[in-house]
Amino acid sequence: MATDRLQFHEMGLDDRLLKAVADLGWSQPTLIQEKAIPLALEGKDLLARARTGSGKTAAYAVPVIQRILASKQTVREQDVRALILVPTKELGHQVQAMMRELTAYCSRDVRVADVSGRADVSAQRPILMEKPDVVVGTPSRVLAHINAQNLVLHASLEMLVVDEADLLFSFGFEADLKNLLCHLPKIYQSFLMSATFSEDVQTLKELLLHNPVTLKLQGCLLPDASQLQQYTIKCEEEDKFLLIYTLLKLRLVQGKSLIFVSEVSRCYRLKLFLEQFSIPACVLNSELPVQSRCHIITQFNQGFYDYIIATDERSLADPAATQRPAGKGKKKKKAGNLQDKEYGVSRGVDFQNVANVINFDFPATVESYIHRVGRTARADNPGTALSFISHFQLALLKEVEEVLTGDNAESALKPYQFKMEAIEGFRYRCRVSAAGWMHALPLCIITENALKQTYDNPEELMWPWWDCFLMQDAMRSVTKQAVREARLKEIKQELLNSEKLKTYFEDNPRDLQLLRHDKDLHPAIIKAHLKNIPDYLIPEALRGLVNPLSDRMRRRREKSKVHGVTKRNFKNVQGKNPLRSFRYTKRKGTQK
């Protein structure tokens, strides 16, 4: 079918760039790319707003590369010509990866350097001394290199890009950015890319842009209901853990999923809880080294993991909100220092093929909700968002609905039709009181002995008794001490992988692929039988979809059937079966 949309080959791009675009599988530009690339190639300053996942990175990366390739035909001197500022280290790595894919056939002419990743500024000096064509970094890191005289921009810079502009001030980069502008030339082309037009973006517009062209595309902040399904379910703290266990174990949530929580400690608490039931997940938060975080994202995109439990940048905006109350000042200060101020995963990072976003803890602001949910339903892919809502978050939920709905009622969040009473049997697995354990223990012992005397396969019938009374208390086993030990173990392991083994992994990239981040941390005791779900616990509507039996139990049931006749599973031992109904038999030689 014919289309009036401008195509990549009609934009006057270099053949090498067009070949790289074809390798990426981009058949036609997105709306923001169609509008922004021609204007950028004309030398216009741009202020572009488009929703997350709309292709904003390529909208500025393509014209930057094209202009550098064009300038190389007349100017042979190697120098820094483009600076891309990002709010987080993760986004810096993402931009660098995109630039390298687009320069696959012209990597000798366009060199890209990311200076946002490492902690030591001096370690990056050799990279910048080679004067790469494009430098990617956070404002604070770029300013640090300028002050260290590793980077000089006032004479050669031609283009400045600010990606996710509405986040720069919220990350505390206002002072760094203003100081950085003093080291830039008077004339350069600027691009401001943002998902929203906030007051901070307007301030940046006055500082950086000169007679810009404003592109306000795709008025909806999130995809419509045909692409993105948004649901809410009202539940309190204990029910959150019950719900997430049930949804994941019964495979009601399928596909790669991001699970957002509010605090770093909540990451590990939820991970340890899921480990009790053999549900693997990896954590992603500000305490982990940046190289480990990027490796986790890469492996998630490659399909190594199904579930990531992550915090977003909002947990760092007010560190005091996630710390303990006053009175333990030293510990509070130490915990705050562990967090990376340039961390963020709910914005900018290109998580690929995310089927679901689960707000285990509902975000504190409307903007944070939009950025979290924007990790799914990207490009033309469908996605689902599910949010757990406590009673004290109803006002915030109403605010989110008002912002998202507007004049379009279809974009409202819909209640998730889920019957909590259908999964009440799972609650025994999540929480059993100590009093219930002590009262139930004698009954369980008596029942077990009786079943062993009567049935050939007593384990199958013992499930209801032991599951109700003797299942491990998964919630109580995830104590504060267990969470603390898990955090320390995870950080030590990631530091070992990212620092001491860095050189080894560079020489042996295949071994790096074998490094998994979703392994059990094992601070808590894990019962092997919790891995499987007995049939009696599964709601009737789902029994045809879920197969809870282990291979061993399935084989036992198959062996018990011979030529279509079910084998009797009990011994004919008269008088020794306490579960059979009592029968009175008259003895010989006795009188009535």
Residue recorded with tokens 């649901």: 231
For residues 242 and 389, membership in a common domain is answered with: yes
Q: How many domains does the chain have?
A: 2
Rounded Cα–Cα distance for residues 431 and 129 (Å): 59
Same domain membership, residue 210 and residue 248: no
What one-character-per-residue DSSP string does 290-305 give?
A: HHHHHHHHHHHHTTS-
Residue 500 lies in a domain: yes
Pick from 141, 199, 139, 186: which is nearest to 163 by CA? 139
Report strand pairing: 282-284 vs 159-162: unpaired
pLDDT value of residue 217: 75
Amino acid in the structure at residue 453: Q
- 271 in the same domain as 128: no
Determine the Cα–Cα distance for residues 559 and 548; give it in Å rounded to an integer.
18
Considering just the CA atoms, what is the radius of gyration of the chain in Å? 30
In terms of domains, do 232 and 373 share one?
A: yes
Q: Is residue 579 part of a domain?
A: no
pTM for the full predicted model? 0.65
CA separation for the pair 3, 7 (Å, rounded)? 10
Q: What pLDDT score was predicted for residue 556?
A: 58
Rounded to 5°, angle at Cα 47 from 43 and 51: 130
Question: Are 287 and 177 members of one domain?
Answer: no
Distance CA 393, CA 380 (A): 31
Extended beta strands in 13-95, E state: 46-49, 82-85
| CATH number of residue 494's parent domain | 3.40.50.300
Instruction: Report the alpha-carbon angle 337-338-344, nearest 5.
Output: 105
Predicted local confidence at residue 567, as pLDDT: 47
Same domain, 243 and 147: no
Contact 300, 308 (CB under 8 A): yes
Question: Is 448 within the bounds of a domain?
Answer: no
- Determine the pLDDT at residue 227: 87
Q: Do 380 and 488 have their domain in common?
A: yes
Q: Which residue range is the domain that position 392 belongs to?
A: 228-318+339-424+474-514
Residue type, position 224, single letter? D
Taking 70 as the pLDDT cut, the residues of the chain under it are: 1-3, 118-119, 170, 218-220, 313-350, 406-411, 425, 428-478, 491-492, 494-505, 512-537, 539-592
Q: Are residues 234 and 212 in the same domain?
A: no
Q: Using DSSP, state whether 215 is helix, strand or coil.
A: strand
Same domain as 85, residue 59: yes
User: Are 162 and 309 found together in one domain?
Assistant: no
Residue written as token pair 């596909």: 255
Decide if 379 is inside a domain. Answer: yes
506-515: b or e for each residue (b if 16 or more CB lie within 10 Å)?
Answer: eeeeeebeeb
Rounded CA-CA distance 287/138 in Å is: 18
Q: Map tokens 């340039």 to a residue.
A: 342
Strands 356-359 and 189-194: unpaired
